Chains A and B, each alone.
Chain A
Amino acid sequence: MIDRLQQFFHRVTSVFRRKKLDHDLDAELAAHLELAIEENLQRGLSPQEARRQTLIRFGGTQQAIEQHRDARGLPGLEILFQDLRYAVRALFKNPGFTIAVVITLALGIAVNATMFSLVSAFLLRRPVVHEPDRVVVVTSVNPARGFLPDTNPVCAPNYFAWREANDVFSDISAADEYRTVSLTAAQGKPEALPSAAVSSNYFGVLGVAAHLGRTFSEGEAQPGRDHVVILSHELWQRRFGSNPAIIGSAIRLNRENYVVIGVMPASFRLLGFTPQVWTPLTLTVADRATSARKDHNLHVFARLKPGVTLEQARLEISNLARRFEQDFPETEKGWSAAVRTLPDFLVYNFGIRNGLALMMTAVGFVLMMACANVAGLLLARATGRQKELGIRIALGAGRLRIIRQLLTEGLLNAVIGGVVALVLAYWGVNFIATKMTFNEAISAVPITLDRNVLLFVLGVSVFSAVLCSLAPALRASRTDINTVLKAESRAASAGRPHSRLRTVLVTGEIALAMFLLIGTGLLIRGLYVVEHQNLGFQPDHLLTAGVTLDSARYKDSAQEISFVRDITSRLQHIPGAGIVAITSDLPATGPPSVNLQIKGEPDLPANQTRNTHDVVVSADYFSAAEIPVLRGRTFTEMDSAASSPVVLVNQEFVHRHLPDQEPLGKQIRLSVTGPTPKWCEIVGVVANVKNYSESPEEHPEVYEPFLQRPVSSFSIMIRTKADPNSLASDLRSALEQADADLPLLHVMSMPAVIDLQKGGDVLFARMLGVFALLALVFAAIGIYALIAYSVGQRTHEIGIRVALGAGSKQVLRMVLLEGLKMTAIGAAIGLAVALPLPKVFAAMFTGLPFSEPRLYLIVPLAIIAVSMLATYIPARRAASVDPTIALRNS
């Protein structure tokens, strides 16, 4: 073994000491021959005969040298070096060709690397917790709730029941995510921070330790001892200057003192579940009551018992959920439960997987087209190199040897392309990182050229090297030396098989370009329709801001109402301000949905529920948002806690729940949080507002008056005469006068809110558009190169045709038809493959409209136009062939 290692070591070093070793061997062989000749002379042979005998006995010096070298070094490695040297020479010999190949590959690889950096950042990065695949997230499932219906939070009684009854988890914890607290520091303005209230074993279940200090201990979940807080690393750096002395001191949260007990490590990020502060989750007896079942606000994180599989956990949890449904039909009807591993849940809940899959498919196609173009170029060059290869084969190069050499050349091209691609991708990634800021969770994820991306680029480069040089290499290796070396002149119709393979490649490219353009067109059109849809209210000239009233100062609904009255009147006095309204959810921002009953209507069968979106608004909401009231009346100041409860409904509500009935005067009961819900009378019907600006869907919606059901977290909406942003500072100072310690969230115009909500869609659509255009350019280059090459090859033939009387028009038509034939076949294939796309997209992106039949006409026409243009240039050249020159040339 050691001998072998030693030998291998020597063989490797020999490769690099080639010159010296060869020199030694020459001397040794010379000595050998001299010794032998001398001996033969002594035996009495003539000098000539002595030499002859010696050489016969020796058996060929060149073979001996080759044998020696093979035994001495690593023949494989040496051949590689030889091929590389040759390949480098070939690169420099034909720089134009090299640049074309490298740029094509680099572009193809760069777009892939850039997109893959997103995949790596969002899908491949493992959460930094202990054994992430053993941590599961339990969520409630309600198919009636639109977006990601299987990721609803869990209600507290179910959490308790699971904690006590399951056999599959070694530990189970709960988190109330998406809270907002206001931090009042010694200096500076109050700041609203995303926070989570977590059970004391939350960090234990995840298996994460604090970077500084400690995490929560058992007793801190008790009311009275719960004024402790853990900070995120980012907040600790930003607001507390990374001061380690912060541990043990108090900070002001929601006007109360909280003692900082720990700082989490910077690596502790759970995509959408990465708040800035954690406080203990206090659950009381009230949270076990049946009435608490309506309140789905907990995310349940649990660790699987050793040996328990995900499937077993799923079975156990769904059995329990079924039992809840039987025991508490009133609230649990229609609800079931889902279990996912933590990494899976985080990615799924983030909702970015489909988008990324789509982008990767698109760039994958772009890369394939780049490879097809390069393969086409290599094929064209292989024809030019036929003679060279023929000579090599005649000199004894084997088929494998030729394939190997051509693959090495391809690999070198791809590696250079890969390096250039990395430079391009570096820009691409930086560009995207600056654009991917549409929400806090996204911008918190660092997007870089990490190890995964580098490995990916390496893999893709090698893959495309093989992909684009294998076909030309195989073909070249079959070169028939007789025909090649004999054929001094180009045959009249040269390289039929060559042009056939290239025709297939170009046809494939056209099909791919067609498919990509239609796909992108559908997506962009879908997004455009949604972006320009009538939302049902007037978003322009609306200024909005979010407020969360803390329970320390605003202890009951009377205080909340008086604050709202106070701030409303202050805001109305701002110059330029029109109507001011308060709403629990801004229009078209996806309000929560609740179950409901209608008095006099029978209950639905067991598997169905009536539900509706539910928004709490102040009386002026409809006039501020300019939502038309169609029937009855809107709310007034008279609809207060003292009067009988009233609601407004939208048209869709009437259509869905009260078809062919008189809605006014009907009584409904909503299963909302809080004390026993009352029957409310419908006093008016308003026009539909899109529930979500990104979707054309319209769902039933109920509006409750703020005075009857005040909420602590709401948005302010001001109709302005001028640019809404010009009133932002007045809004801030009005709020400061009302309550200096209350932070304002997102002061922005309504169109900006909608843009933010659209998030990455516009960016993604733009990037897709760029990829599709790149694909079209590649297809055009491909068809241009093919036709130009074929015209070049056929100069002789065309010359004969012209000499025999073919007019330039006829030649032009002939060449154009050749291109048109390929385009038509490719376009037909692409069209056929693209037909089911609307259905695929509709399944991937719920709610977007994807029917646009016009695209199936426009895109083929555009592709035919582009490819005709690409064909026309070489066709013109063909038409102007001078027969005397063409025929003499051969």
Chain B
Amino acid sequence: MTAAKLDLLQGTLDLMVLQTLTAMGPLHGYGIARRIEQVSGDKVFLNQGTIYASLVRLQQRGWISSAWGVSSNNRKAKFYSITKKGRKQLSEDAVNWQRLASVMSRVLGM
């Protein structure tokens, strides 16, 4: 596991983005990508560019919102933050994931 990087399952990235925004508050795309990489211990195989498809998808569903702002080093950047609807969705999805993960670990432990 250490050598190979994880390929992301469909929909996983969306969940990671939501969780990241919940934990960190408003972030720009680069910040979100960096944060996911750091948290995963660089185990997730993520082209940073992929994040933008996920962001537009989440935004169109109304789970996150965006606004142009200024970054810590005075650069113009688009900041994303999670919405109320997004939090609700995150809690539902997180429960689902945990259930799935525990089932999978049990099945694989047979």
23 residue pairs A–B, Cβ–Cβ below 8 Å: A3-B63, A3-B85, A6-B60, A7-B57, A7-B61, A27-B76, A28-B77, A31-B75, A31-B78, A35-B73, A38-B73, A39-B34, A57-B48, A58-B49, A59-B48, A60-B49, A64-B49, A67-B50, A67-B53, A68-B56, A71-B56, A72-B53, A72-B60
Q: Which of A39, A70, A71 counts the most B-chain CB atoms under 10 A from its CB?
A: A71
B78 touches A28 (CB 8 A): yes
Interface string of B6-28 (1 = CB under 8 A from A): 00000000000000000000001
Please tell me the number of chain B residues within 8 Å of chain A, measured between CB atoms: 27
A10 at the interface (CB under 8 A from B): yes
- Complex partner residue of A67 from B29, B52, B61, B73, CB under 8 angstroms: B52
A34 touches B75 (CB 8 A): yes
A11 at the interface (CB under 8 A from B): yes
CA distance A31 to B57 in the complex (A): 20
Q: Looking across the interface, which residue of chain A has its beta carbon closest to that of B29?
A: A32
CA distance A14 to B60 in the complex (A): 10
B62 touches A3 (CB 8 A): yes
CA distance A578 to B76 in the complex (A): 109
Interface SS of chain A:
helix
A61 at the interface (CB under 8 A from B): yes
CB distance from A502 to the nearest CB of B (A): 46
Q: Looking across the interface, which residue of chain B has its beta carbon closest to that of A36?
A: B30
Interchain Cβ contacts within 8 Å, total number: 87
B49 touches A59 (CB 8 A): yes
Q: Which of A6, A11, A32, A36 counts the most B-chain CB atoms under 10 A from its CB?
A: A32
Q: Which of B28, B48, B62, B78 counts the most A-chain CB atoms under 10 A from its CB?
A: B48
A664 at the interface (CB under 8 A from B): no
Q: Looking across the interface, which residue of chain A has its beta carbon closest to that of B72?
A: A35
- Complex partner residue of A32 from B28, B53, B54, B63, CB under 8 angstroms: B28
- Further pairs besides A7-B61, A11-B60: 5, Cβ < 8 Å: A3-B61, A14-B60, A27-B76, A31-B28, A68-B52
Question: 9 smallest A-B Cβ distances: which pairs?
Answer: A59-B47, A64-B49, A10-B60, A71-B53, A67-B53, A31-B77, A35-B30, A7-B60, A32-B30
A64 touches B50 (CB 8 A): yes
B53 touches A68 (CB 8 A): yes
CB distance from B19 to the nearest CB of A (A): 18
A176-207 contacts to B, CB under 8 A, are none
B29 touches A28 (CB 8 A): yes
A204-240 contacts to B, CB under 8 A, are none
CB distance from A232 to the nearest CB of B (A): 60
B71 at the interface (CB under 8 A from A): yes
Interface string of B73-99 (1 = CB under 8 A from A): 101111000000100000000000000
CA distance A68 to B63 in the complex (A): 17
A729 at the interface (CB under 8 A from B): no
A10-58 contacts to B, CB under 8 A, are 10-11, 14, 24-25, 27-29, 31-32, 34-36, 38-39, 57-58
**Which residues of chain A are near B29, meaning CB under 8 Å?**
28, 31-32
A63 at the interface (CB under 8 A from B): yes
**Which residues of chain A are near B76, meaning CB under 8 Å?**
27, 31
**Which residues of chain B are near A38, meaning CB under 8 Å?**
73
B75 touches A25 (CB 8 A): no
**Which residues of chain A are near B33, meaning CB under 8 Å?**
32
CB distance from A721 to the nearest CB of B (A): 91
CA distance A67 to B49 in the complex (A): 9
- Complex partner residue of A71 from B48, B57, B78, CB under 8 angstroms: B57
**Which residues of chain A are near B30, meaning CB under 8 Å?**
31-32, 35-36
Q: Looking across the interface, which residue of chain A has its beta carbon closest to that of B71?
A: A35
A59 touches B52 (CB 8 A): no
A287-312 contacts to B, CB under 8 A, are none
CA distance A59 to B71 in the complex (A): 23
CA distance A364 to B86 in the complex (A): 58
CA distance A10 to B30 in the complex (A): 24
